[in-house]
Chains A and B, each alone.
Chain A
Amino acid sequence: SQELEQSPQSLIVQEGKNLTINCTSSKTLYGLYWYKQKYGEGLIFLMMLQKGGEEKSHEKITAKLDEKKQQSSLHITASQPSHAGIYLCGADGGGYQKVTFGTGTKLQVIP
C-alpha cells in the first residue's frame, strides 16, 4: 500500500519568512493533492499536481512535483498569520482509487 511521509511534522516561522514542506511517497504518484486544514475543520483544496516536474502557484503558495513523481514540495513565500494551519498531502491512486493522506505538517506563523 502507498505510504506518504511529510516533513517537517511541525514548523514555527516568523511572519514574512519563507518555508517549505515536503511530501515523499513510497510509490510513484499518479497525482498529488495539497490541502490546508484548520484543527478540527474541513479540508481546503490548494492544488493538484499530476505531471512530473509540474509546478503550480496560488497566491504565495507554490507546489511542485518532482520528475520521478515520488516527491512533492509546498513552498510559502513571505508567510502570514493566515497561512497557519495543518498542511496535508494526499496521493491519488489513479484509476478512480482512493486518496491516501500524509500525517500533516502543522504550521504556526508568529507575527
Chain B
Amino acid sequence: EPEVTQTPSHQVTQMGQEVILRCVPISNHLYFYWYRQILGQKVEFLVSFYNNEISEKSEIFDDQFSVERPDGSNFTLKIRSTKLEDSAMYFCASREAATQYFGPGTRLTVL
C-alpha cells in the first residue's frame, strides 16, 4: 500500500543551524502538508502546499520556515536558523480527495 515516507527519522542539530526535513508524498497526490508536535502537546498545522504554492500557513510558519517541492517526488521543510523551541516531531502529509495520509515523522532535536 502506498505510504508517505520521511527522512531522516531523527535529526539532531545545533541552535542557529539550518535543517531540511524531507518527505516523499504518495505519488499521485497533489496536496501536501507539514505539521509539528512539540513533545506532550497537540499536533499543530504548519503549512499546506498545492501547485507549487503555499495555500495556507499558520502563525507558527514564520520567515524562518520555507517549503519546496524541488522535483516530482520530494517535499521539503527548511528551517533557516533553528531555535531550541523548534525541537518537535514534524509530520508530513499528503492528500487525495477524501483522506489525508501522514508520514511517520521526523524527530528534530535542537541543542
Contacts and interface: CB of A to CB of B under 8 A. Distances in A.
Interface stretch (B40-48, B63-71, B74-82): B40-48
Nearest to A102: B42
Contact of B42 (A33, A48, A104): A104
Interface stretch (A10-18, A38-46, A72-80): A38-46
Interface residues of B, number: 26
A39 B104 CA distance: 13
Interface of B: 31, 33, 35, 39-40, 42-45, 48, 50, 55-56, 89, 91, 93, 95, 98-105, 107
B91 A43 contact: yes
A97 B43 CA distance: 15
Interface of A: 31, 33, 35, 39-43, 45, 48, 50, 88, 90, 92, 96-104
5 contacts: A43-B91, A43-B105, A48-B98, A96-B55, A97-B56
Given A97-B48, A99-B45, 13 more contacts: A39-B40, A40-B107, A42-B103, A42-B104, A45-B102, A48-B99, A50-B98, A90-B43, A96-B31, A98-B33, A98-B56, A100-B45, A101-B42
